[in-house]
Amino acid sequence: GGWLYFILSTNTEHLLGANRFPEHVELAPLPLWQPVGEDLNLSCQVSGGAPRDHLSVVLLRGEEELGRQPLGKGEPAEVRFTVQPRREDHGTSFSCRWELDLRSQGLELFQNTSAPRKLQTYVLPSTDPHLEAPTVVEVGSRWPVKCMLDGLFPASDAEVYLVLGDQRLETSITYHDYSVLAEAWIEGHEEEEGTKSLKCSVSLGNEIRKTRGSFPALSGTLSPPEVSGWTTVTVECEAHAATVVTLNGAPAGPLGPRAQLQLNASAQDNGRGFSCSAELEVAELVVQKHQTLELRVLYQRVCLGKWTWQEGSEQTLKCEALGNPIPKLNCSRKGDGASLPIRDLRPVKREVAGTYLCRATSARGEVTREVVVNMLCECWSLGPGRDSELPLQVQGVQSLVGKFDSRYLPKRNEQVCPHRDLSVYVQQHFS
C-alpha cells in the first residue's frame, strides 16, 4: 500500500501563502536641527507587503508609540506623521514599524522596525545678543569685550563669533545651562584709527542672531616721551576727523580733531601730566574720552650747601641728590675722607666742621659739588686783670707751656676760640 506523509517547514512564506511581508521600511531623513515647538513632518516609507488592508505603520519615539496609520497603496507606500518636538526630544531616536496582522486567519501579528534616526532640537531666542564694549578705544590701549545671549538650548552647541571690522577676534567662550558668554580683547592701533564696527554673532541650529556696535579711537602722543633737560617737547592729541579734541595748556585756536603744544622741558617738568579730551557724536550719542600723558625729564643735581652753626646747638644736616633716574649720593671730607653726617646732630660738635666733596652718580653720569660746614666755637675776650683772672682755657695753656709769655696771649678785647683739646691749642699757638 501507499505512504501518507507530511512536510514540516519553518519557511514563513510557505505558511503565509498569499500573504507577504514588506521588503523594506525606512524613516525618511530628519532635518539636521529642529526648532522646539514647531511642526515636524515625518515620512515612513514601506516597500512590498500584502494584503495591504492588514498592514499598518507605526511611528515610534524610542519605544513610545506616537501614531498609527494603515498602509495605503503605492510602491513604495508613504505614510506621513506630524509631531511637535520638545526640548527633551533632543538626542531622541525616531523610527517606523510596519505591522502585518494575520490573527484573523489564525496566524499572528508580524512586525519589523526601521533603523532609528536621531533628532536634534534647539531653542534660539528672537532677541539679539547683548554686547558689552567700550564706546571709545584709545590708540595703544587694550579693552575687554563681551557678548552674551540667554534662553538658548542646547547652549553647548551654540557658536559665537566676535568680529572687529573684518578681523575675527580670538574668543573665550563659557557655556551655562541656557546661556552663552563670549569674551575677547580689542586693541587700538594707530593705523586703524577711526570708527570701527564690532559684531557679535550667535548661531544655533539653522539660525543666527547678530548685534553690532561701533567706537572711535583717540590718539595721544608725547614726542619724545623721555628727554634730557632743556629739550623741546611736542605734545599732540589727535582723533577721528569728526571729533573735537582739546589739550590742556595748548594755545587757543579753532576746535578740531587735533591739538598741539610745544615746550622746553626742565627738571621741574619731570612727571608733568598733559590731559587730552575728545568728544564725538556716534549714533546720536555723544561719547567722551580722556587720556593723560606724562613727561619724564632726565636730570640730576646735588645739594649746594654752606652751613654755619654754633657748637653745641641742635641741628639737622640735610643733603640729597635729585634726579631722574634717581642718583646715588656720596659725600666725603677733604683731607681725611670722613663721611658727611646727614642726620640729626644733637648736639653739634666741632668735629663735623670742614669742606666736603659730594658726588651724585647715575646712568646719566656724575655731578660733583662742595659742601662747607663752619662751626662757631665757645669764645672769650681778654680784659683788664691779673693772669689768674684769665679764662680757664688760657690758664691751662700757661700751665702746659711753663713760663708765661704774654706775647702768646691774645690781645686785649680780642675774641679767641681755642680748641677744647689744650694740647692742640698749644701746638698751634706756642710751638
Q: What is the CATH number of the domain that holds 327?
A: 2.60.40.10
Q: Is residue 5 part of a domain?
A: no
CB atoms within 10 A of CB 10: 6
User: Domain range spanning residue 252?
Assistant: 218-294
Ramachandran assignment for 250, one of left (phi > 0), alpha (psi -120 to 50 degrees), beta (any other): beta
What is the Cα gyration radius of the chain?
51
Shared-domain flag, residues 346 and 395? no
CB atoms within 10 A of CB 339: 10
Q: Is residue 7 part of a domain?
A: no
Shared-domain flag, residues 210 and 224? no
Q: Please tell me the predicted confidence (pLDDT) of residue 425.
A: 47
Quick one: which of 210, 42, 15 has its CA closest to 106? 15
Shared-domain flag, residues 400 and 350? no
Measured CA to CA in angstroms, residue 430 lies from 216, 350, 377, 423 at distances of 89, 22, 20, 10
Distance of CA 390 to the CA centre of its chain: 82
Show the DSSP H helices in 263-408 as ranges.
392-401
Instruction: Give residue 425's identity as a one-letter amino acid code.
Output: Y
List Cβ neighbours of 294 (8 Å cut-off, separation of 6 or more).
222, 225, 271, 272, 273, 274
Among residues 269, 294, 319, the one where a domain terminates is 294
Q: Please tell me the predicted confidence (pLDDT) of residue 327.
A: 87
Q: Is residue 6 part of a domain?
A: no
Q: Please tell me the predicted confidence (pLDDT) of residue 192.
A: 59
* Residue pair 288/279 in contact by the 8 Å Cβ criterion: yes
Shared-domain flag, residues 102 and 18? yes
Q: What is the DSSP letter of 401?
A: H
β-partners of residue 355 are 372
CB atoms within 10 A of CB 343: 9
Q: Please tell me the predicted confidence (pLDDT) of residue 306.
A: 83
Helix (H, G, I), strand (E, B) or coil at 385: coil
Shared-domain flag, residues 187 and 284? no
- If one counts the domains in the chain, the total is 5
Shared-domain flag, residues 23 and 114? yes
Shared-domain flag, residues 17 and 118? yes
Q: Is residue 160 part of a domain?
A: yes
Shared-domain flag, residues 285 and 304? no
Shared-domain flag, residues 113 and 164? no
Q: Please tell me the predicted confidence (pLDDT) of residue 17.
A: 56
Q: Is residue 2 part of a domain?
A: no
Distance of CA 22 to the CA centre of its chain: 68
Q: Is residue 228 part of a domain?
A: yes
**CA pair distance 234, 332, nearest whole angstrom:** 42
Shared-domain flag, residues 356 and 310? yes
Shared-domain flag, residues 54 and 37? yes
Among residues 294, 326, 346, the one where a domain terminates is 294
Q: Is residue 347 part of a domain?
A: yes
Shared-domain flag, residues 366 and 397? no
pLDDT in tens, the chain (431 residues): 444 433 344 444 445 557 789 999 999 999 999 999 999 999 999 998 888 888 999 999 999 999 999 988 888 899 999 999 999 999 999 999 999 999 888 888 999 999 999 999 999 998 889 988 877 666 677 889 999 999 999 999 999 989 988 889 999 999 998 999 999 998 876 655 566 788 889 999 888 887 776 655 555 565 556 666 667 888 888 776 667 888 877 777 777 878 888 888 787 777 788 888 877 765 556 767 777 888 887 777 777 678 888 888 888 888 888 888 888 888 899 989 898 888 777 788 888 888 999 888 888 788 888 888 888 875 544 444 444 444 444 444 444 444 444 444 444 444 444 444 444 444 445 44
Query: b/e per residue, 360-387, with b = 16+ CB within 10 A?
Result: bbbeeeebebebebebeeeebebeeeee
Query: b/e per residue, 218-237, with b = 16+ CB within 10 A?
Result: bbbbbeeeebebeeebebbb
**CA pair distance 411, 198, nearest whole angstrom:** 96
Among residues 173, 197, 215, the one where a domain terminates is 215
Q: Is residue 3 part of a domain?
A: no
* C-alpha dihedral, 252 to 253 to 257 to 259, nearest 10°: -40
Q: Please tell me the predicted confidence (pLDDT) of residue 178.
A: 92
Query: b/e per residue, 116-145, with b = 16+ CB within 10 A?
Result: ebebbbbbbbeeebebebbbbbbbeeeeeb
Length of the chain: 431
